[in-house]
Structure 1
Amino acid sequence: MDNTGLYTAPNTVPSPAAVTVSAISQADISKSGSATVTIQAPTPSGTFNVTITATVGSVVQSTTATLVVN
């Protein structure tokens, strides 16, 4: 966390993924707080085309699926 209070998560999820964020009031240093935060990998968004090909003996079959994640 920087001096403005902005927390920037790491590029990869740390292990353990739970971190404790603590803060002390600059106006009244007798006041403080903390929270445990679990960092999670971002959910990808977009359209993904997936092709699955299976071969059984001499027979080859393919299917394509489109997955849309918003």
Structure 2
Amino acid sequence: MAGPKHPRHYDEAFKRQIVQLYENGKPSREIRAEYDIARSTPRRWVRGIRDRRLEMEVDVSGQAAPVFARK
């Protein structure tokens, strides 16, 4: 039973699948209905995964900057 005291736990692959569906244009309400997840869940996962991607991009840019600065 899911609830505030007993939240559901989803693996990372499932979260990425939901985010991919959302980013490909599937409406959030359809995703929520099909996978029986809470209203805020897809939004939170999208934000979290986008933040991680941004952090990785910043990290890669920081590492690449000195290489490009030499040329």
Query: TM over 0.5: same fold?
Result: no
Q: Per residue, is there more strand in 1 or in 2?
A: 1
Q: So what's the TM-score if we normalise by structure 1?
A: 0.31
Q: Per residue, is there more helix in 1 or in 2?
A: 2
Q: So what's the TM-score if we normalise by structure 2?
A: 0.30
Larger radius of gyration: 1
